[in-house]
Amino acid sequence: MGEIMRKLVFELLAIICIIIPFTLMGNNIHELTKSKCILIPPSIAENGRSFVYVGIDSKNNGPAIFISRLKNDGSFSPPTVAVNTRSIGEGLETYFRTFHAKHGEWAATKFRPAGGFSSPTIQDNIITFSANLKDLRKGIFYAIQQSGKWKVYPIALQGQKAPDTAGLTFQDFDAPYITTNSEAIFLASLSNEKNIIYSFNVLPESKKKRFSILCKSSKNKDNFFDISVAKGTFAVPASDVSENTYMYIFNRASRKLIKTVPKIYKGLPVGQKIFFRGPSFFDGKLAYSAYILKGKNKKYTYAIYSNAGGNTFSEPVVISGKLIKSLNDKFSTVIHPTLFIKNKKAFIVFMGQLIGKNNRAGVFLATIKNGNVKISPIAIPDQKIAKDKVIESAGVGAVCIRNNIVPLALKLKNGDNVIAFTKVY
């Protein structure tokens, strides 16, 4: 009997060792508020001390930009409305219609991080955002909090003359990023169908010129999209004359775009067109998603590439269809990475769909140190975050990690939409 018991105990321990890693998945998540609807998931400030998102204001039942701030105890304040559809920009005579000019409603269950790179951003008491006005014009704006009240000012509007362009006008925008030195950097499309990246000095009392052209598209660098800004400079994808897309980092000293790509993309079939989304830029390094359509079944292969943390640039950090041992599952999709680096260690937060979770969206962390990659879950389907509160799906915004903080948009199985946050180290 003693020998039989020892065998049973050993087998039981073996089963527990197998089960525990998968029943304890996900981080400790702190719920901040329920939202009637989340239109654009939260995006965190460069200093990690606040985040913004777009939801529905219960008072007027319309879209609004909400803000939450880091408190002294390490938690975040309940979100409050900064700008809504009853706000009017200085010098304008019409209200806002939407704050998600390029996309529709976010839906974690459909794995669609709407808003994407047109998300509002925040730094201290300044929010920058894109919007549609009631008169259907598109524009980009900033809101500044003074004496506890938010005032809104236009940066640029559709149809206005673009500074320093010999009379060309603005046609479209990505939302501006606000930097730590109160500079808004934004991408605009002009009336000649070219792209231009501006910096705009938000604080008018400064002696600096308000608008400054950082770079323009050209024959060999065209079709800018998805600009990513950090520490006063940026990365942007651009296409050449053959319509091949490459990633570029802007060197502010030389004012040149520096091509920054691997020689090959391992894991993706050679000779087929690769599509790119992202990038995420931090401390001179990149992370971005790539995907390719392959096979008769027209299935996509998705991957995330990065040159941070000592990772070999040509090797995918994570790729769909490959078993992730730490998760005991495979991804069907991986997109929307945000890169953060601390002490030469890279942290990439991304959205992914696990085949074993019926392709519902979750949020994951890739940690890279000395070229070694570890994948771990942050917020995943079926994860319990409190009594009677289980995640159906999870998503993140345009900038989703700074310092150790990750703000989250969650859809719960009880139907609630939740804004929450977690810490990853």
What DSSP letter does each residue of 335-390 carry, written as one string? Answer: EEEEEEEETTEEEEEEEEEEGGGTT-EEEEEEEEETTEEEEEEEE-TT-EEETTEE
Separation CA 39–CA 143 (nearest Å) = 19
Per-residue pLDDT for 298 more than 60? yes
Q: How far is CA 191 from the centre of its chain?
A: 28
CB 391 within 8 A of CB 383: yes
**Token pair for residue 198?**
């501006």
Per-residue pLDDT for 306 more than 60? yes
Separation CA 364–CA 43 (nearest Å) = 16
Least confident interval from 152-161, 199-208, 210-219: 199-208
What is residue 104's predicted lDDT score, i.e. its pLDDT? 43
32-89 pLDDT, tens digit per residue, is: 999 988 999 999 999 999 999 999 999 989 999 999 999 999 999 999 999 999 999 9
Beta strand pairing call for 195-201 and 183-190: antiparallel
Per-residue pLDDT for 330 more than 70? yes
**Token pair for residue 146?**
């003074």
What is residue 206's predicted lDDT score, i.e. its pLDDT? 64
Give the pLDDT band (50/70/90) at residue 27: confident
Give the pLDDT band (50/70/90) at residue 101: very low
Residue 417's closest CA among 97, 37, 51?
A: 37
Least confident interval from 2-16, 131-145, 325-339: 2-16
The three-point CA angle 74-149-229 to 5° equals 60
Separation CA 100–CA 138 (nearest Å) = 10
Separation CA 134–CA 118 (nearest Å) = 18
CA distances (Å), origin 292, targets 79, 208, 361, 374: 39, 44, 20, 24
What is residue 293's predicted lDDT score, i.e. its pLDDT? 85
Query: What's the rounded mean pLDDT across residues 305-316?
Result: 98
Query: What's the rounded mean pLDDT across residues 396-418?
Result: 95
What is residue 295's predicted lDDT score, i.e. its pLDDT? 61
CA distances (Å), origin 398, targets 148, 193, 390, 395: 27, 25, 24, 10
Q: How many residues does the chain have?
A: 425
Residue 81's closest CA among 57, 49, 101, 48?
A: 57
